[in-house]
Amino acid sequence: MKIAGAKVLLTGANRGIGRAFVDELLRRGAGKVYLGVRNANSQSFPDDPRLEVIHLDLADTASILAAAAKAGDANILINNAGFMAGTGGIAAPSLDGARQEMEANYFGPLQLTRAMKDSPVFSSSGAIVNLLSFLSLATIPAAGTYSASKSAALALTRTVRAELKAKGTLVVAVLPVQVDTEMGAGLPEPRLKPSEVASDALDALEAGEEEVFPGQLSKNAAAGFKANPAAVQAQLSQYVRPIE
């Protein structure tokens, strides 16, 4: 698949990895990019006629359906928007963060993907790119409910891939380690650059790869996990929040 000339619906487009996707999509010649953001009136993007800002709140069914209708000619869906509460399970003060993570990282992308079923995304010329996390595979207890939501999202990605195989739709899982964004500020260093994630994700899309670990940091983590998943999990399990 080629990005050049493609029409793309991108969620969480206003900052971090999403903002890096905007630049990379334009650089590769995307024909149209719908920029899904929660507040469509307070964003700053390049002055480019290929860009169109649309309101998209993944916790609001009406917003999701309206965005899907607006971007009904898109053939690539990039589910990039996400949320991390940064709390443990029992250590969390309430379930509010966990519920918000599942809404943003699992239910929202599921509902948006379903809403695009009549678009070119669901065709042999279509693709879905889901921004997940290395924590889909292994869990940091200090962000345990986030890991749970991303594990659910990985299972969903593989489910959608199987369901759309007959249609020829490419479904890509992107599994980075910690990234230098506002969301990743509390995660260990070193961190990936957002541009690394966006670039490697789109490279994988153009190459027809189904799962990608962007940047050398992610590749190293994936190799370590493949060699000894129990050892990687034991290392990550040291990061625990105290129960008060």
As annotated, the active-site residues are 146
Distance between CA atoms of residues 214 and 212, nearest Å = 6
Distance between CA atoms of residues 161 and 168, nearest Å = 9
Residues 6+ apart with CB under 8 A from 201: 21, 129, 131, 172, 174, 212, 214
For the sheet containing 7-11, what is the strand order?
Answer: 51-55, 32-37, 7-11, 76-79, 127-131, 170-174, 211-212
Q: Dig out the tokens for 21 from the structure.
A: 């996707």
Element (H, E) at 20: helix 16-27
